[in-house]
Structure 1
C-alpha cells in the first residue's frame, strides 16, 4: 500500500528540493513491483510447463499391443546402414544339416516366431514379408504364403480362404500379423511385401497382369480398400519384386506393375531382388531388364548373394560390377545360416568381415538383408546370433579378422568336380568326397564344386 501511495504522491506538487528524490523513489518502487510480478509469473508457469513434458533423461514407453520378446536388445540400429530381415518362410525348418537333407530336424515350437518378436530384437530397419507367391495368369486370383503360419488365398471370383498344408484354418492368424506390422511400424521399422520368391511358385505375368496386380496390391496391402485384406487395417510401407523366373511378358508387366503402383501410392517404397549372377550378358535374367530399363522405379536393389556360388565371396564376389549396373542404393543379400542357402553362400564372420572391408565405405552400399530371421536368431536347437553379428558389423564393429583376397571367378561348368553337403560346410572343413566329371554326384542331396579342389 505504501508503494501505491508513493506512486500517487508523485502526482502531487512538492517543493523543488525534494522533487527529484521523490521521482527516484517512485521509479525504484515501480521496478520492485515489476520484479515481484515477473517472479510470480515465472514461478507459476515454469512448473506448469515441466509437468507436461518428460525430463530429457527419461524415456516414456508404452506396452505393445502384441506379446513380444521381453529381452533387452544388446545393440541398437544404426541409421547409416540398414539391416533387412525376411520373415514368413521359416527357413530354420529346412531340415538341412551338413550331411544333407533331413539331418537337422527343428521342432515346430522352435521354428518361426511372430513378426513382432523379431522387430523387438532391435536389429532390423526393414522387414520383408515373404511371399505373395501366387498371382497372374489373366485373372485376379492371388495367394499369400507364410509357411508355418499358413496360406491366405483369393480365387478368381474373389472368394477368400485360408489353409495350412491344405487344412482349412482361421484368417485370424493373418490379422494378428497385421497387428504385429503396426507394432513394428510404431517402432520405426518399415514393413515391405515381397512378391514372387521361389522360381517354382505358381506365379505368372501375361499381358494385362501388371495393372491387375498393382490394383490388387494397392487395395489389399496398401492404402486402398478391399474385402480381402489379410492384415486387416495395417498398411504396408512398400513392395519388392523377388521375381525368379521369366517369360515373354515378365519384363513389360513388371514395369507396368511398378509404374501403376507409384501412381496409386507415390510414397511407398519399391525395390527389386535380382540374383547376383550376370549370365554373361551383364544382368540377371529376371528383374535385371527392369532395373536396366527403368532404374528410376527403384529406391534400392537387394542383390542375392546366396545360392549363387559363381558371383559370391570368396569365388567371384561381383559387387563392383553392380555399382555400374544400378547407380542407386545397393543391399547385399545374405543367408541366415548354412541351411538357408542349400547350394551355398553363407558367410561366417570372417568372410562377412572380408566382404564389408570391400564395400563398407562405398557410397552406394546401403546395407545387408538376411534370409531369414528364423534361422539367424537364437532358438534352443539353433543358438545362432548371426543377425546380431550383422547388426554389429553394420554399426561399424569388426566381427572377424577378414580373409585374404578372394579366389578366381568361376562358372557353372566348373561346379562338377567336387561334392559336398553345402558350399559353406565343404569350404570350412575340406573333407570332400571324390567327385565325378559330370553334373551329378553319387549322393543326390549333395552339390558339386570344382573350385574347392585346392581347399
Structure 2
C-alpha cells in the first residue's frame, strides 16, 4: 500500500513538473503560438462560445512554451503605439488610442508563474500603419517598447505592472529600415536586467523574406526565427521540392546572426482554415519534422503554430502534435537519422488540406473581418 502510494505521488510530481517546466532556449522541442487575434472567430462570427479563450487558458498545461501576444499594429505615428487584441480588450487610456488591458496583464503574470514566456508581437499580416523610417526612429521606438511593455516605466503601460518576456517582429509591410537599430537598442536595455528577454522574428518562407530579410542578414541578435512555412509554395508540403522548399538557406541565415545559439522554428497552421495552404496531417508532419530535426539538430528549436484560437477548435490535433514534438525532439541529445519516432501519432484526426499554388510571395493575412454582434471586436488579423 505504501509502495503504491509512493508511486502515485512520484507520478503526480513528475506530471506537475512537466506541466510547469520552464521554457529552455537550448532545447529543440519548444512549441510557440500566437494569441490575441481570434482568427478562427473571424470566420465564425455567430459562434462566440468557440472564440479564442483568455490568455491564461493556454497556460494550464505543457502544450505551449512561448505565447506571442498579437499585435502592436501602429507604431510609426506621432503619439503612443496602438495595440489590437480583437475582442479581448477594447478599453483605452483616456485621451489616447492605446489599449489598457489589466485583465490581460494578470493573465501574463499567471502564465509566467507557470513557466511560460509571454512575448509582444509587432506588426501583423494585415496592412496597418507601422514601420520605421530611420535608425534613430528604431532606437527611439525601442525605448518606448522597453518603457511601456518590458522592464522600464511609463505613464501608460497597457498591461499595468506585468513585464513581458521579449519582442517578436512579424513585419509584413511598411519600410524595412531601422529594425536592426531597434534590436540593438533593446539589447542595451537588457544588459543587467533581472530576466532573460527574447527577440524573435516571423519571416515568410519565401527566401529571402521581402520584409525581414535585410534585418535578418544584418547580423542583429535574434534568439528565435519562426519561419512561416505556409501560405506560399515554400510550405512544408513541398519539403521534397528543391525549387520551392528552401530550409537550408533559412538555416544558414539563422546561423549567421550575432547570436551563436539562435534557433529556427517551423511555422505551421494549427487548423485547416488557419492558412491558405501548409496544413498537414499528423503522420506527414511527424515524417517531415523528423527529417528537419535530424538534418539540422543544432539550430532546430521546435515549431510555431498559428494561432491559439485554432487550438481551441482543433485541440486534439494540436495537443498530439505538441506531445510528439516534446517526446521526440529532445534537449541536449544528438538525434539519429534512422530514428523516425519513439512514439507515433495518428493521422486520422485531420486530413491534409489542398494546397494553393502561387508564384509570388503571399501575404499571411486574411481579409479583415468585423463582428456584427457583441462582443464586438475591431479587426481580426492573421499571421
TM-score of the pair, normalised by structure 2: 0.73
CA distance in 2, matches of 1:75, 1:106: 34
Tell me if structure 1 keeps the 8 A contact 2:235–2:278: no
SS of the aligned residue for 1:374 comes to helix
Distance 1:192 1:74, change over 3 A: closer
- Mapping 1:316-331, distance limit 5 Å: 316-327=244-255, 328-331=262-265
2:55 alignment partner in structure 1: 115
CA RMSD of aligned residues (A): 3.0
1:313 alignment partner in structure 2: 237
Distance apart, 1:312 and its partner CA:
3.2
Which of 155, 170, 174 is the equivalent residue of 1:227?
155
Tell me if structure 2 keeps the 8 A contact 1:222–1:265: no
- Mapping 1:11-410, distance limit 5 Å: 57=10, 80=27, 81-95=29-43, 107-137=47-77, 139-151=78-90, 159-161=95-97, 171=100, 174-207=101-134, 208-247=136-175, 250-251=176-177, 253-266=178-191, 267-278=196-207, 283-295=208-220, 297-314=221-238, 316-327=244-255, 328-341=262-275, 343-361=276-294, 362-377=297-312, 382-395=313-326, 396=328, 397-400=343-346
**Runs of 5+ consecutive residues of structure 2 not aligned to the other structure:** 1-8, 256-261, 329-342, 358-366, 368-383
Distance apart, 1:92 and its partner CA:
1.4
Distance 1:319 1:58, change over 3 A: closer
Higher relative contact order (CA 8 A, sep 6+): 2
Distance apart, 1:201 and its partner CA:
1.5
CA distance in 2, matches of 1:153, 1:206: 27
SS of the aligned residue for 1:293 comes to coil
Distance apart, 1:76 and its partner CA:
7.9
CA distance in 2, matches of 1:205, 1:242: 14
CA distance in 1, matches of 2:212, 2:91: 26
- Partner deviation per Cα, 1:130-157 (whole Å, 9 max, x = no partner): 00011114x2331111112134667xxx
Tell me if structure 2 keeps the 8 A contact 1:83–1:390: no
Distance 1:298 1:195, change over 3 A: same
CA distance in 2, matches of 1:106, 1:360: 41
> Which of the two has higher C-alpha Rg?
1
Distance apart, 1:309 and its partner CA:
2.6
- Partner deviation per Cα, 1:81-134 (whole Å, 9 max, x = no partner): 100111101121131xxxxxxxx5551122011111111132111110000011
Aligned length: 310
Tell me if structure 1 keeps the 8 A contact 2:150–2:164: yes
**Runs of 5+ consecutive residues of structure 1 not aligned to the other structure:** 1-55, 61-71, 96-103, 164-170, 403-422, 436-444, 446-455
CA distance in 2, matches of 1:367, 1:265: 25
Distance 1:176 1:298, change over 3 A: same
Distance 1:222 1:386, change over 3 A: same
TM-score of the pair, normalised by structure 1: 0.62
